[in-house]
């Protein structure tokens, strides 16, 4: 294409630009080229296009536009494309690009520059990447996201403080049933409904008939027990020894039936000074103290109670933050260890001592 010859034979003013399209056997071309940057043909107002020359390969047009639009179009490069949104009463939610529709919230606003507006659409210059050495415009992925330069990540364990540990892991926790816990944990005196909702949260779903009967028999029917009253009245500032002695009597003498983990949860429902205990927090504790992975289900019911009393309650005293945040953080870290055993085993094998080597006042 001889641009020198073409521009010599066509007169332009400052608001006009030479653009071109490939000759298409199907009629109207799909793309219009402005400074080598492809623009959807239909995105340009046809009234502003005047055909000035044609050969076997190309059609040349004089594109007339206002100065503002012209200046912005001239900045297009191989990494820029034209995208658009429809104009309406509400802020646009969809961005149209080539033959794709994407959620505008997924696009970095810094990559969008308005180049033209009318009563129906707003047109943008969308920068796909920072590099200008891309041979063609990338396609959108199946999820409607514009592929960017990849990020290369690694995972690393950093020995940190208990507070930093909580600040990182607790926000990772999510549960669709969390409202069942939040709405009912402070209901005192207990109601039948509050107890059932709390155990539904602990179960992670609606209680099957057998579990429902167990909760009714072992906890709901005994909600006015003197042991429950004592647990509720237990002071938050009690020493580790006081909490352990009370928990031992509560779990072994007052409530010997119902399964160890649910009995411990019942104690927690009475007073949150007694932390929740399950397979995830046990896994977290063992890995943090010994650098190895251990599953709670290998132990008998009696041994689980002993582990709670003699291992987990002292371990929990390493933390002094909000009790619920502690539960969430340890749950998520324990779940992480379960999902990445190979990675965690390598980290644990390189540890020469407890991973959580800071101690708190256990008096």
pLDDT at 345 over 60: yes
- What are 202-228's pLDDT values in tens digits? 999 999 999 999 999 999 999 999 999
Task: Identify the band that residue 309 occupies on the pLDDT scale cut at 50, 70 and 90.
Answer: very high
* Residues 29/33/38/44 CA torsion (nearest 10 deg): -70
Tokens 């959620």 identify what position? 103
pLDDT of residue 173: 96
Q: What is the pLDDT of residue 105?
A: 76
Q: Among 93-102, 134-143, 180-189, 338-347, which range has the highest average pLDDT?
A: 180-189
- φ, ψ for residue 83 (rounded to 5)? -130, 165
Tell whether the model's pLDDT for residue 106 goes beyond 80: no
Tell me which of 71 and 92 has the higher pLDDT.
Answer: 92
Q: What is the mean pLDDT of the chain?
A: 80
Q: Hey, which residues does 315 pair with through a beta bridge?
A: none
Beta bridge partners of 101: 96
Note the pTM of the prediction, 2 decimals.
0.59
Query: Residue 11 burial (CB < 10 Å; 0-12/13-18/19+)?
Result: exposed
SS3 95: strand
pLDDT band at 275 (very low <50, low <70, confident <90, very high): very high
Q: Which of 106, 115, 104 is nearest to 37 (CA)?
A: 115
- Alpha carbon distance 214, 121 (integer Å): 63
DSSP per residue over 64-83, as a string? E--HHHHHHHTT--TTEEEE
**CA atoms in the 13 A half-sphere facing the CB of 13:** 5
């Amino acid at each position: 294409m001889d641009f020198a010859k073409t521009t010599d034979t066509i007169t332009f003013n400052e608001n006009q630009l030479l653009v071109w399209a490939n000759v298409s056997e199907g009629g109207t071309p799909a793309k219009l080229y402005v400074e080598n940057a492809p623009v959807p043909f239909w995105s340009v107002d046809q009234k502003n296009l005047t055909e000035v020359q044609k050969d076997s390969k190309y059609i040349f047009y004089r594109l007339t536009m206002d100065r503002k639009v012209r200046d912005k179009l001239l900045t297009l490069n191989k990494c820029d494309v034209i995208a658009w949104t429809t104009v309406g009463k509400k802020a646009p939610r969809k961005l149209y690009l080539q033959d794709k529709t994407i959620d505008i919230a997924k696009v970095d606003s810094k990559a969008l520059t308005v180049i033209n507006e009318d009563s129906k659409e707003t047109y943008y210059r969308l920068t796909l990447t920072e590099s200008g050495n891309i041979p063609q415009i990338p396609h959108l992925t199946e999820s409607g996201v514009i592929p960017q330069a990849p990020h290369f990540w690694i995972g690393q364990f950093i020995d940190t403080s208990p507070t930093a540990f909580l600040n990182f892991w607790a926000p990772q926790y999510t549960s669709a049933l969390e409202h069942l816990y939040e709405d009912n944990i402070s209901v005192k005196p207990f109601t039948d409904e509050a107890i059932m909702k709390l155990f539904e949260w602990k179960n992670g779903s609606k209680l099957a008939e057998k579990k429902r009967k167990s909760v009714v028999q072992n906890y709901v029917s005994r909600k006015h027990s003197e042991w429950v009253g004592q647990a509720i009245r237990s002071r938050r500032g009690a020493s580790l020894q006081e909490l352990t002695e009370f928990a031992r009597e509560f779990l072994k003498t007052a409530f010997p039936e119902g399964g160890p983990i649910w009995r411990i949860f019942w104690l927690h429902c009475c007073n949150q000074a007694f932390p929740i205990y399950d397979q995830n927090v046990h896994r977290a504790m063992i890995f943090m103290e010994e650098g190895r992975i251990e599953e709670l289900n290998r132990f008998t019911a009696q041994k689980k109670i002993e582990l709670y009393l003699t291992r987990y309650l002292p371990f929990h005293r390493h933390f002094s933050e909000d009790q619920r945040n502690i539960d969430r953080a340890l749950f998520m870290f324990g779940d992480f260890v379960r999902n990445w055993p190979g990675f965690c085993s390598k980290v644990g094998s390189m540890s020469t001592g407890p991973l959580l080597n800071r101690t708190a006042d256990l008096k």
